[in-house]
Structure 1
Amino acid sequence: MVVESIPKAAGFIYGIIAFAALAWLWYSGRFTRRRALPFLAASVFFGFLVFAPVFPYQFQLLVLRDAAALGSPLPMAIVALLAFIALTLVFGRIICGQVCPAGAVQELMYLVPVKKHGRAESRVPTAVRVGVFVVFLAAGFGLSVNLLALLGLPAFFNLTVASVSFFVFLGIVLLSAVVYRPFCRYVCPYGALLAPAASRAAYRLRRTDACIDCRKCERACPTGAATPGAGAGECYLCGRCTEACLVDGALVYGRGR
């Protein structure tokens, strides 16, 4: 379905606009899961339309030093990807939450009303993420192997149904109906870079003195990030915790501890 005549820059422009709008919604206290739905739908639409802004795949092409496929000089791509890491240091993982098409399609699939697996205690061990990231770098830099293509990320958004890899990523998307964001949390190389940045974000979800320790936010969180002491690295700013919170002002997005 990808329309080659539309420049991928259109997807990145959308990504910047969507990021700014979502950051404002969180900052102003107006973010809700219902208001996030149009962004999720638009992100998936741009994924199928121009295959951008699919940040993990752009990062994959950068590792492979494939400027032709990127559609921009390598230095420009490096600056763009570093800029979004810097934005994550300020605002958290908004990119992963609602802007990246790969994450958005999994987020929408998780809305399917079926029994979920691994909720609230499913933090991914850091060693797993580091190990997968090392394999990704070794395959890209050392062997020039495009692992994300083998997993079917481009085939899925290009609707290349004749390819086996298409069904690999389709399987990952279907799995995300019961397991929260398996690609983002176990595989995505760009997410592995954004997680440490998000854990130190200036603006993040935090509890206030109004918290009554009902733990509803912890039970609602699909990654375990709402657990005290867990950090914000695995927080995708999905809004489930704030939606479940019983006390107005007990869980807020802002600066501070």
Structure 2
Amino acid sequence: MVFASVPKAVGLVYALAGILALAYLWHTGRFSRRKGLPILAVTALLGFLIFSPVAPYQFQLLVLRDVAGLGAPVLLVAVGLAVMLGLALLFGRIFCGHFCPVGALQEIAAHLSPKKVGRTQKKVSMAVRGGVFLAFFAAGLLFSFNLLGALGVHDLFHLALGVPAAIFLGILALSAFVYRPFCRFICPYGALLAVASSESLYRFVRTDLCIECGRCERACPVDEAKKTDAKAECYMCGRCVEVCPAEGALHYARR
């Protein structure tokens, strides 16, 4: 289903423009979780139509030095990924939350069930993803092994049914019960974005209007809503803002 005639740069431009737009809309209070649903749908559709901006897989191809698979100049892809990393340092993980097709599919699947397991296992998920990150580079650099390809990321979006696609489809199905399992336990590019996001200039912060009710903390699917949390795992889903009963108590602003 992927249209090879459409430049992959279209997805990159879409993601970069979208990140800036959502940062502005969150900051001005004009965005919400409900308004994000159409964006998730468009992002997922772009994944199937042009396989972009699937940044984790593009990052995989860079590690493998697979120029043909990238479908775009290596320098352009590298610069694009670096820019998105810089934007995460400024605005948090808006890309992961809304503009990565892999993340978008998981977020859509997460709507199927409100109850999730492993919500408070943040340290465990980060430790596992750190191990996967090391395995990802070892597999790519030492053995030229496409780890994300073996997990079916490429095959499912290309509708190439088989064992790899079934594996990734299983991960998506798991997203209904475990929030974003691929993002939290596997994604190598997400590991880099998490580091950047932990130091992000803009993030969700509590104001003096906070009544300490704890609803945002209970609603957060990754246990990142406490005052002292670094927001490394915050996917900008907006659940915390959605349940906050005190207007103006939780705001996306400069920390």
Q: Same fold (TM over 0.5)?
A: yes
1:205 is matched with 204
Q: Cα deviation per residue 1:96-150 (whole Å; 9 max; x = unaligned)?
A: 000000000000000013642223x131434322211000000011110000000
Q: Distance in 2 between matches of 1:230 and 1:66?
A: 38
TM-score (norm 2): 0.96
Q: Is the 8 A contact 1:89 1:197 kept in 2?
A: yes
Helix, strand or coil at the partner of 1:204:
strand
Give the partner amino acid of 1:135. Answer: A
> Structure 1 residues 131, 10: closer, same or farther in 2, change over 3 A?
same
Deviation at 1:85, TM superposition (A): 0.4
Helix, strand or coil at the partner of 1:25:
helix
1:243 is matched with 242
Bigger shift: residues 53-62 or 128-137: 128-137
2:219 is matched with 220
1:77 is matched with 77
Q: Distance in 1 between matches of 2:136 and 2:222?
A: 23
Q: Distance in 2 between matches of 1:216 and 1:37?
A: 22
Helix, strand or coil at the partner of 2:122:
coil
Bigger shift: residues 128-137 or 49-58: 128-137
TM-score (norm 1): 0.95
Pair 1:37 & 2:67 matched: no
Where does 1:123-202 land on structure 2 (aligned, <5 Å)? 123-125=122-124, 126-161=126-161, 163-202=162-201
Q: Is the 8 A contact 1:124 1:186 kept in 2?
A: no
Pair 1:90 & 2:90 matched: yes
Q: Cα deviation per residue 1:35-74 (whole Å; 9 max; x = unaligned)?
A: 1011100000000000000010000000001111112232
Q: Cα deviation per residue 1:165-197 (whole Å; 9 max; x = unaligned)?
A: 010000000000110000000000000000010
| Unaligned segments of structure 1, at least 5 residues | none
Bigger shift: residues 124-133 or 3-12: 124-133
> Structure 1 residues 108, 124: closer, same or farther in 2, change over 3 A?
farther
Q: Distance in 1 between matches of 2:118 and 2:134?
A: 25
Q: Is the 8 A contact 2:89 2:200 kept in 1?
A: yes
Pair 1:7 & 2:12 matched: no
Q: Cα deviation per residue 1:17-50 (whole Å; 9 max; x = unaligned)?
A: 2222211211211110111011100000000000
Give the partner amino acid of 1:138. Answer: A
Q: Distance in 1 between matches of 2:114 and 2:207?
A: 33
Q: Give me the identity figure in percent.
A: 53
Q: Distance in 1 between matches of 2:244 and 2:75?
A: 44
User: Over aligned residues, Cα RMSD in angstroms?
Assistant: 1.2
Equivalenced residue count is 254
Q: Distance in 1 between matches of 2:14 and 2:190?
A: 19
Q: Distance in 2 between matches of 1:72 and 1:2?
A: 15
